[in-house]
Structure 1
Amino acid sequence: MTATPPQRPADTNPPWPNPGYAWYVVVILLLAYTCSFIDRMILTLLVAPIRADLGISDTQMSLLVGFAFAVLYTLAGLPLGYVADRGNRKKLIMVGISLWSAMTAACGLAPNYALLFLARIGVGIGEATLSPAAYSLMSDYFPKDKLGRAVAVYSIGVPLGSGIALVLGGLIVTLATEAPAISLPGIGEAAPWRLVFFLVGLPGLAIALLMTTVREPFRRGLGQTQQAGTVRFRDAFTFVFSHGRTFVPLFAGLALYALVMYGQMTWIPTFFARTYAMAPASAGFYYGIILAISGAAGLILGGVLADHWFGKGKKDGHVLTILVAITGSAPFLIFGPQMPTPTLAFACIFIGQLVSAMYAGVAGASLQIITPNRYRGQVIALYFFTANMIGFGIGPTAVAMITDFGFGDDGALRHSLSLVAAIVLPVAIGSIMLSRAPFRGSVASLEAEDAALAT
């Protein structure tokens, strides 16, 4: 897997792949990303039956949902990004999909908490292979002025997978709590929640088979003296630090925005239950539909806008698109939870999600157009590391702590959501604005390097 495919000299770069086939590859990657998010989210819908069956506490359950998955997912992404920069990205993704699908199914076979914890770690490691390799693949299938749209379509997997999980939440909970017991090898008669992991895990193996139809593309932007196989693990970090004026404020702003969005996504169904006395399953159903539709539309809109600006010569068009997304969504994220009726709140969430989603795919694409090919997998992994550790690690907890220790009232969740957004979003906007001028310089620097390699 780590063997480097042979590269041609820089002046014999082949034409870009056929656009139709390139989009076929994106669709397969989208299916994989959607599957990964369904597998990732499914545990949050099975809290009650798993706790009752295994006799575990809220804290132990939270470790399964968060720590067991997120920490290994983010940490494993860094060395796996290095593998993606050196070896066959198609094979890496195939192995990753097979691993996380098998480990998801293994969650259903785990006879105790310790083995369930280990299976969740396996899910995290498997999913960590996907995005570093997928972003790198797409950057060799699409020219820079079309990359934003490709990454945006791939990123639809986030709202689509999350939305499917939320929409099917009621059915899943019913299956996990009311279906008759099943018989499993090595366990015997088992609770029905275990069957859910098989139903969501095994289809991933079909997507792994689809990956066999994907061709490993020619790596562009590598000179004869800069083959991926000569890159050391630390070189990507050296590159990021040498362009710190671009990467540091951009990473910081994106991570802070992720903090707000993860906090909102985690608590929105509970917010509707506490504020408007909606059944959690109903709130999750409507929120899932909104998330899937508005998220997909916003991602496409952001990708088209960023590609348009970049094609017109705006070298910071991707950063401008991110600023439009954050600034445009801010009023709806801040004031949406304060709406007097659930209908108005859902309307604010729909518009806020639509506008905010414009940033998600563009963020990854922006890093691809300022990063040499030999570092792209690692840089994307570093981005996911910071965004997940700050966003997923702090966002939901920040909202909960303000509710518990600031207001001391469960009914004040709506105010906590608004307060976190009002405090964090201006800082995120200011941080990303600081990256604009350095970003233009980084684009010019990479274009000059590519031009030198082509002569």
Structure 2
Amino acid sequence: MNSDQAAVGAPAKGDPNRNTVLLMLLVVYIFNFVDRQILSILAAPIQADLQLSDGEMGLLGGIAFALLYSTMAVPLAALADRTSRSWVITVSLAAWSGFTALCGLATNFWQIFLARLGVGIGEAGGVAPSYALIGDYFPSSQRATALSVYSLGIPIGSGLGVLVGGYIAATVDWRTAFFAVGLSGVIIAPIFKLLVRDKAKSAPLAVGVADTTAEVSIRPTLKETAAVLAHKPSFWLLSFGAATSSMLGYGIAFWLPSLLIRSFGYDLVQASQFFGALLLIGGVVGVMAGGLIADRLGGRDRAYFAWLPGIAFLLGAPLFAAGITSSDAQFAFLLFLLPQALAYVWLGPVLSAIQHLVVPAARSTASALFLLINNLIGLGGGIYALGAFSDLLQPIYGDEALRYSMLYALVLYVLAALLMALAGPFLRKDWVHEQG
């Protein structure tokens, strides 16, 4: 059995390859979010060209992507746990990039809908195995920080997708933007496989307090992993807390460029520069702060891996409201900057906590089960809900309907904070402690 097919054991603290692996995973994740987020900045020209409503655009940004992205992630993650995580990521990158390029050929709603389904299928195999590889290469005390570095792919990829997509769409057309980013990912795929390998097999790690009476195989099946997580309240509270916050987070991320165009009078390039800078500055700061603070506080009390995100959600809601209701675009940028950072704080702490609810050989599967809940509800529901709610409010608020749709949705952050507060105490007993 070669190293790519090996199961995973205790992470080697001084592994010389781990930074290269983390860098390449970050590059792939950047492409993941470039391909995912580019649709938001291209929404206006696509709607104009294909004559689509806000509701239809919400379907393209949400359920068309999230439906198979969420459901296919589970079997693909189980496959990665039992075969090769790096190979699954490589094939997935090539697949979603190819389907992104195909979006540029669409001439109607159903063609671009099917292409987005393909993007979702491809991206389903990228994230959960990446979480697991990071768990393999980095020790527990550094895992939230390492996962935060990886999660920088979200603001960087989203920001680049908005900036690059907006520039290409404004200077050429929206179809060329899809071609450019899609084909770039196809080129990166073989380079990734050349540099990234799975960790060598080792003995399984000790289980946590909640699992001391159970026998855990070196390669737990999907059913075994699901059964372990099903009995851990922290998993459900973290998953639904993250999903609730993601409904708002994905919704704002998708619809904010359209809000800037409709309510602030920005053109496509101005909207892409505003939102791209917001993502890159606020997002990068928030992601890294979340991981660093969680590793420090979580070492004292595991509950902080849930409490820290909850505090960030409570602080972010009123600040987002101030930005959404602002009438001055430049002032709105400053108002959006801090809550944009707070919106990303949860990534490192929660993703690290999910990794610690199972033995190492089950990390991809556990991550995929978390992502199934988070993305099916958050990504699949949030973007569509805000778009459909905007259509519903149109008779009342006219061109400002999207602004009020986003404003009313801020209650989701309060609910997410409550779920995270409840998750904290359960993490203390559900945590799986490692040997070595």
114 and 384 in structure 1: CA distance in 2 versus 1, 3 angstrom threshold = same
C-alpha distance in 1 between matches for 2:29 and 2:226: 26
Task: Name the residue aligned to 2:209.
Answer: none
Equivalent residue for 1:201, pick from 182, 190, 194 = 182
Aligned length: 424
Offset at 1:66?
3.5
Paired residues of 1:259 and 1:394 also in contact (CA < 8 A) = yes
**1:222 aligns to what?**
204
> Hey, what does 1:16 align to over in structure 2?
13
Q: SS state of the match for residue 273, structure 1?
A: helix
Structure 2 equivalent of residue 238 of structure 1: 227
User: How big is each residue's C-alpha offset from its partner over 1:197-223, in whole Å with a ceiling of 9 and x where there is no partner?
Assistant: 331112213322222211211356626
Report if the CA contact (8 A) 1:78-1:378 is conserved: yes
CA contact (8 A) 2:305 2:424 kept: no
Distance 1:328 1:113 in 2: 38
* Paired position in structure 1 for 2:344: 357
Distance 2:28 2:66 in 1: 18
Backbone CA RMSD of aligned residues: 2.9
C-alpha distance in structure 1 between counterparts of 2:25 and 2:305, whole Å: 22
Larger Rg: 1
TM-score w.r.t. length of structure 1: 0.84
Q: CA, structure 1 residues 271+48, in 2 after alignment: closer, same or farther (shift >3 Å)?
A: closer
Give the whole-Å Cα distance in 2 for the aligned partners of 1:254 and 1:140.
23
Structure-2 residue corresponding to 1:303: 291
Structure 2 residue 372 is matched with structure 1 residue 368? no
Deviation of 1:114 after TM superposition, in Å, equals: 5.7
Q: Deviations over 1:94-147 (max 9, x none)?
A: 111122222333444568776654433322111111111000000010011101
Tell me, yes or no, if the aligned pair for 1:168 and 1:285 is still in contact at 8 Å. Answer: no
TM-score by length of 2: 0.87
The Cα shift of 1:262 comes to: 1.6
What's the CA shift for 1:343? 2.3
Q: Name the SS of the counterpart of 1:322 in structure 2.
A: helix
Shift in CA distance, 343/141, structure 1 to aligned 2, threshold 3 Å: same
Change (3 A) 1:343 1:119: closer
Question: Would you say the 8 A contact 1:140–1:218 is kept in 2?
Answer: no
Contact 1:250 1:431 survives alignment (8 Å): yes
Contact 2:42–2:166 under 8 Å retained in 1: no
User: Residue 241 and residue 389 in structure 1: after superposition, are their counterparts in 2 closer, same or farther (change >3 A)?
Assistant: same
Q: 1:299–1:360: 8 Å Cα contact kept in structure 2?
A: yes
In 2, Cα distance between the equivalents of 1:267 and 1:14?
Answer: 40
Rounded to whole Å, the distance in 1 between the matches of 2:102 and 2:45 is: 17
Q: Distance in 2 between matches of 1:332 and 1:268?
A: 15
When structure 1 is superposed on structure 2, of 63-72 and 328-337 the one drifting more is 63-72
Task: Could you tell me which runs of 5 or more consecutive residues in structure 1 were left unpaired when the two chains were aligned.
Answer: 178-192
CA distance in 1, matches of 2:205, 2:279: 43
Mapping 1:16-415, distance limit 5 Å: 16-18=13-15, 20-47=16-43, 57-58=52-53, 63-108=59-104, 116-177=112-173, 193-211=174-192, 212-218=194-200, 222=204, 226-229=216-219, 231-243=220-232, 245-311=233-299, 313-406=300-393, 407-415=396-404
Taking a change above 3 Å as real, the CA distance of residues 239 and 163 of structure 1, as seen in their structure-2 partners, is: same
1:181 maps to what in 2?
Answer: none
1:430 Cα deviation (Å)? Answer: 1.2
Contact preservation (8 Å) 1:85, 1:373: no
Name the CA distance, whole Å, in 2 between partners of 1:413 and 1:105: 29
Cα drift, residue 305 of structure 1:
0.5
Residue in structure 2 matched with residue 180 of structure 1 by the alignment: none
Q: What is the DSSP-based 3-state SS (H/G/I as helix, E as strand, rest coil) of the residue aligned with 2:204?
A: coil
Are residues 208 and 170 of structure 1, via their aligned partners in 2, closer, same or farther at CA, if it must alter by over 3 Å? closer
Mapped to 2, the partners of 1:319 and 1:28 lie a distance apart of 28
Greater Cα shift, 398-407 or 295-304: 398-407
Cα distance in 2, alignment partners of residues 72 and 258 from structure 1: 17
Name the residue aligned to 1:189.
none
- Please report how far the alpha carbon of residue 410 of structure 1 lies from its aligned counterpart in structure 2 after TM superposition: 2.7
CA shift, 1:248, in A, is 1.7
State the Cα deviation string for residues 329-374 of structure 1 (Å, max 9, x = none).
2221233212242222111110111122111232211211222223
Name the CA shift for 1:14/1:435 in 2 (closer, same or farther; >3 Å): closer
Does the Cα contact within 8 Å between 2:63 and 2:384 map onto a contact in 1? no
Percent of pairs with identical residues: 31
Query: Quick check: 1:23–1:150 contact (8 Å CA) kept in 2?
Result: no
Matched, 1:435 2:431: no
Deviations 1:395-419 (A, max 9, x none): 2343344444354433243333222
In 1, Cα distance between equivalents of 2:399 and 2:106: 34
Q: Distance in 1 between the 2:45 and 2:262 partners?
A: 22
The CA deviation at 1:232 is 2.6
- The 8 Å contact of residues 4 and 86 in structure 1, kept in 2 or not, is answered as no
Whether contact under 8 Å (2:354, 2:367) holds in the other structure is yes
Mapped to 1, the partners of 2:288 and 2:253 lie a distance apart of 20
The 1-side partners of 2:237 and 2:310 are apart by 13
The alpha-carbon distance between structure 1 residues 298 and 100, as it changes in their structure 2 partners (threshold 3 A), is: same
